[in-house]
Each structure stands twice: as C-alpha cells, then as structure tokens.
C-alpha cells in the first residue's frame, strides 16, 4: 500500500527533480484511488437499504478529498485582494421598514433554518447544544420556537422552522421537538452528512465499518457548508420552492441575536426589492478586538467573498486580524434565494474553499477533517451583498462568559428575543473573561453564582481562580478578581464593586 506522508514524498524512491511534478500527480492519483477503494469497502458493511443514499454521500466526500489533494497553499493570493466597492456592504440604517399590510405576504416567502449540529461538550453539557437552558429555564430551541410562533401569530403567517441536525444531535432533537406539537410552528428536520475522519499518516479512513454509533470518533459532520447539498437531498428545497417560498434565513442556533428581520426581508421580497434580485446576503457587523479570528468580507477576482483565517498565508495573519484593514466581521446570519441555491446546485457551480481541521483523537491518532463554511458560497451567487447590522444581531453563546451576559439583567426577554435593557447607557456589551479552570463548564459556572450579578454598568470583567459570588452583587466599570493558587475569594452578598481589583485571599465567612 502506498502511504502519502505530509510532505508528499516516498522515502527511498530516487527520482530526477524534473520528474517530481509528475511523481506528485501519481501519488495524488494513488491516494484518491486508495481512498475510493476503502470507501467501497466501508459501503459493503452498511445496511443494504441505506447503501444507495450512503454511496451518494461518500461520492461527495471523495470529491472533497480529491479537491483537497489538488490544492496547494492558501486559496487566496493576498496581493490580488481588491478594495471593497462602495456598494458591497449596505448600512442597516438605510433599510426601510415594510408597511404592516405587506408583512404577511412577505413572511409567506420565507423559511427559517437553524444550524443545529453542535454538541454542548465544550461547555460540559451532554447532548445538543440547543437544549442548554440559557434564560428563565428556556433553551436555545425554546427561544427560537417562541420567536417564530410570535411572528406567525402576530401576522397570521406560516413561517416554517427547519433544523439542520448532525448524527450527533438528530435523535435527541427529534425527541425534544415533540413538545412543540401544539405550537403554531411547523418544524422540519434534516441531517447534514456524516463523513469519515482520515488518518494523517495513511490518508485513509480510520473507520473499520459503517456502524457510526460503535465508533463515533471515526466520523464527523463536515461543517455548515454541507447545508446546500443536504438541504436539496432532503427534498425540502423543492418542497419550499413549490410552495412559492423564495428565501431562507439561515443562522447558528446559538446566536440569540439572529431573529427574523423584517427590514432585511423587505429589501429581498417586499416593496424595496431591487429590479435585479439580491441572491445572497451576509450580515456583517463592525469588528472588535474580540472578533479578530472571525471571517471577513473581501473583493477578490471582482466577486464579493468570505475570507476565513484558515485561508490566510501565515505572514499576513496579523494584517487579517487588524480592525483597521478589515472592518467587518461575519455573523453567519445568511439570507439566500431558494431558486438560486437550486440553480447553483444544478449547474454544479458551488465551489466552497476547504477548511482543513487537524485533530488528535483520544487514542493519540492524528486525523484530518475536511470541512466547508456556508458563507463561502457567497461568490457563487449573483448580486451578493453584505449588510452591516447592529451588534445586537450577533449574540452567540460559545462559552460560559457569553452565558453570563445573556442570563443577566443586561437583556430583557420579549417573545423569545433578547432585547438590551434601556437602562444600559451604551450599546456595546461588556467584555467578560472567566477562568477556564473554574468556570468553563456550565454546572461549575452556575454553582459559583448565588444569582447572576447586576452588570448594567459593567465595561470589563476578568475572573480567575476559585471565586464565588453571593446574591445581589453589582459589578460596574472595570472589575478584576484574581484568587491566587490555593486561595479562595468569596464576594459577599450585596457587594458593589466599581473599578476594583480584588486579589489574594479575601474570604468572608458568615458566623
């Protein structure tokens, strides 16, 4: 068997330098052929009734792998990045609100899709991330269903909710959505692909058979760029087009700011729509120092496109992270024309950059995951634009520091949507950093607060070490609390900390 080491050479095999290109081509062809043989072998172990669907999925994976073998170096030539044209990013404030009597008709052309493939493991939770309680014992999924139901009731509409699950979240999600039976929301689900992880050494799948449950570490969901193919293959794309629906609004389930925006919808299907339809909208927001690794918008080869840090040459990473050079940050809230998605898939012009995700499994095996991003499709559509939206449309919960913000009095809950409290004097959210060792897991985090502090006037909070908070604590300005190793700090009930640094061992005990 021919191994393909990372540097693309086979030891002990002497060739003249002029042959090296041809040699690389041969090793790549061999690697692809071997992978396809291995995928065939895996397919033979699958249930016969599932085999046809799985074969299509493995063909898509082999196509992705073939492209991965052909690509060398970053996919963007840094020197060819062009200045963003003046009309590439619209300002949200320039959008007009629709007239009330048009809203129902507009909503009838919309489908809401939530990316629901992630687990809550990074926050110490089991099962889908969407079922973590975030506010008043309501989960991400509860809040999403409340939002859509409120829209449907208010405007006598019928906006469907679609969840893109992964093999990690599908079974649990199906059980949970039964409780929404009586709600005025039609919920549909479909699964994104399940692709095999590839060994870094052999470039072959690490799975021995198609029993995913038995060896779950050998498989992975390949990023949200997989949405387009799996949405079509589920039959839902055709169903919604046949119903006369025109656009989908797609966002991450953990972004609590990603609600249906009627002003954006008005631009796409209402009276403000352009003569030449906008087929793809990416919501962006002003980049802050907290967003330096997130994707941004660039003009490249006369097309607007998403640039992710994985595509940036190492020597330009600092430039990419600069708030001055690249002002915008991708929220992953995307509006796309259903008809255009159908056309791009039929014409096979969907070409998404490959994100190479290197992982090490618990058994020490080094593997590669090949992924794609949903926003990377932007360059494949006509009339793609960015809309610079307020920061309030980007409220992701990736860590417990984000959870602290959304559970606090900084926000009020209204019909499933979080609205910043009018008592907050400025629109930015505080910067919160909680120590990994004591606050990373949701259960630990909740155990350290008798209740969530008042943070209406907070600018910056850093907490490190063994720290607990009593009931009714108020944090204002910049507060830094650092318990030294082996020490513990208990912030007493009712304490008001304003522009304070607390360090060492401050333990206040009741007697």
Band of residue 417 on the pLDDT scale cut at 50, 70, 90: very high
Query: Helices 140-155 and 100-107 sit at what angle, rounded to 10 degrees?
Result: 120
328 and 476 fall within a common domain: no
- pLDDT at position 27, please? 72
414 and 385 fall within a common domain: no
Are 204 and 35 in contact by the 8 Å Cβ rule? The answer is: yes
Residue 449 lies in a domain: yes
- pTM to 2 decimals? 0.89
- pLDDT at position 348, please? 92
- Please give the annotated binding residues, written as ranges: 129, 192, 223-224, 254, 398
Helix%, strand%, coil% for the chain, nearest 5: 35, 25, 40
Residue 52 lies in a domain: no
d(CA 115, CA 226): 11
Cα dist. 192→59, 166, 227, 336, 338 in Å?
15, 5, 7, 18, 18
Give percent above pLDDT 70 in the chain: 92
381 and 484 fall within a common domain: no
Residue 449 has pLDDT above 60, yes or no: yes
227 and 346 fall within a common domain: yes
- pLDDT at position 26, please? 60
pLDDT tens column, 151-193: 999 999 999 999 999 988 999 999 999 999 999 999 999 999 9
Boundary residue ending a domain (360, 378, 393): 393
Residue 45 lies in a domain: no
Band of residue 13 on the pLDDT scale cut at 50, 70, 90: very low
- Please give the annotated binding residues for UTP, written as ranges: 129, 192, 223, 254, 398
Give strand ranges (E) for 51-181.
81-82, 89-91, 110-116, 133-135, 138-139, 161-165
H or E, element range at 447: helix 442-447
375 and 408 fall within a common domain: no
What average pLDDT does this structure show over 387-405? 93
Residue 54 lies in a domain: no
- pLDDT at position 34, please? 92
230 and 361 fall within a common domain: yes
- pLDDT at position 20, please? 58
Mean pLDDT of the chain: 88
316 and 440 fall within a common domain: no
Which residue do the tokens 């073998």 mark? Answer: 69
Are 470 and 454 in contact by the 8 Å Cβ rule? The answer is: no
| Residue closest to 95 by CA, chosen among 246, 255, 270, 249 | 270
Query: Helices 20-43 and 51-70 sit at what angle, rounded to 10 degrees?
Result: 160
235 and 99 fall within a common domain: yes
- Please give the annotated binding residues for substrate, written as ranges: 224
Are 166 and 189 in contact by the 8 Å Cβ rule? The answer is: no
> Would you please indicate which residues are annotated as catalytic (active-site) residues?
398
248 and 177 fall within a common domain: yes
Residue 65 lies in a domain: no
Both tokens assigned to 400:
């417990």
What average pLDDT does this structure show over 250-264? 96
Residue positions counted in the chain? 511
CATH code at position 454: 2.160.10.10
405 and 476 fall within a common domain: yes
- pLDDT at position 464, please? 94
356 and 422 fall within a common domain: no
226 and 134 fall within a common domain: yes
CATH code at position 128: 3.90.550.10
Range of the domain at 457: 400-503
**Between 95 and 4, whose confidence is greater?**
95
pLDDT tens column, 322-336: 777 788 889 999 999
Are 234 and 190 in contact by the 8 Å Cβ rule? The answer is: yes
Who contacts 146 (Cβ-Cβ below 8 Å, separation ≥6)?
Answer: 138, 415, 416
- pLDDT at position 505, please? 65
**Between 140 and 505, whose confidence is greater?**
140
């Amino acid at each position: 068997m021919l191994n393909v080491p990372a540097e693309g050479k086979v030891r002990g095999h002497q060739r003249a330098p002029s042959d090296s290109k041809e040699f690389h081509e041969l090793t790549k062809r061999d690697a692809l052929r071997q992978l396809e043989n291995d995928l065939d072998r895996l397919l033979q172990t699958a249930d016969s009734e599932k085999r046809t669907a799985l074969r299509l999925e493995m063909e898509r994976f082999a196509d992705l792998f073939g492209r991965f073998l052909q690509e060398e170096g970053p996919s963007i030539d840094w020197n060819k990045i062009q200045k963003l044209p003046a009309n590439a990013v619209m300002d949200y404030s320039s959008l007009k609100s629709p007239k009330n009597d048009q809203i129902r008709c507009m909503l009838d052309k919309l489908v809401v899709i939530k990316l629901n493939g992630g687990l809550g493991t990074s926050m110490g939770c089991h099962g889908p991330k969407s079922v973590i309680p975030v506010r008043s014992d309501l989960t991400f999924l509860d809040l999403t269903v409340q939002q859509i139901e409120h829209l449907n009731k208010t405007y006598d509409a019928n906006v469907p909710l679609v969840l893109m699950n992964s093999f990690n979240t599908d079974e649990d999600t199906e059980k949970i959505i039964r409780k929404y039976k009586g709600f005025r929301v039609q919920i549909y689900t479909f699964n994104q692909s399940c692709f095999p992880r590839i060994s870094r050494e052999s470039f072959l799948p690490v799975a021995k058979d198609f029993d995913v449950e038995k060896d779950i570490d050998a498989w992975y969901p390949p990023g949200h760029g997989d949405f387009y193919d799996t949405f079509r293959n589920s039959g839902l794309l055709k169903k919604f087009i046949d119903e006369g629906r025109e656009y989908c609004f797609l966002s991450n389930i953990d972004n609590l700011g990603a609600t249906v925006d009627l002003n954006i919808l008005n631009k796409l299907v209402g009276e403000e729509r352009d003569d030449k339809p906008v087929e793809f909208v990416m919501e962006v927001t002003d980049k802050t120092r907290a967003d330096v690794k997130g994707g941004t918008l660039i003009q490249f080869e006369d097309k607007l496109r998403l640039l992710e840090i994985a595509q940036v040459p190492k020597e330009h990473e600092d430039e990419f992270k600069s708030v001055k050079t690249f002002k915008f940050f991708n929220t992953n809230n995307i509006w796309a024309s259903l008809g255009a998605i159908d056309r791009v898939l039929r014409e096979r012009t969907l070409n998404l950059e490959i994100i190479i995700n290197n992982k090490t499994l618990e058994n020490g095996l080094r593997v590669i995951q090949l992924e794609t991003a949903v926003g990377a499709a932007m360059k494949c559509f006509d009339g793609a634009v960015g809309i610079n939206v307020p920061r309030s449309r980007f409220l992701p919960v990736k860590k417990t520091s984000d959870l602290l913000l959304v559970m606090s009095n900084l926000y009020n809950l209204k019909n499933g949507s979080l609205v910043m409290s009018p008592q907050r004097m400025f629109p930015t959210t505080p910067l919160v950093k909680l120590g990994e060792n004591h606050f990373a897991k949701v259960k630990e985090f909740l155990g350290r607060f008798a209740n969530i502090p008042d943070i209406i006037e907070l600018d910056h909070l850093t907490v490190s070490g063994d720290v607990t908070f009593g009931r009714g604590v108020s944090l204002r300005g910049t507060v830094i609390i650092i318990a030294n190793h082996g020490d513990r700090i208990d912030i007493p009930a009712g304490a008001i900390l304003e522009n304070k640094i607390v360090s060492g061992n401050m333990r206040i005990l009741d007697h």
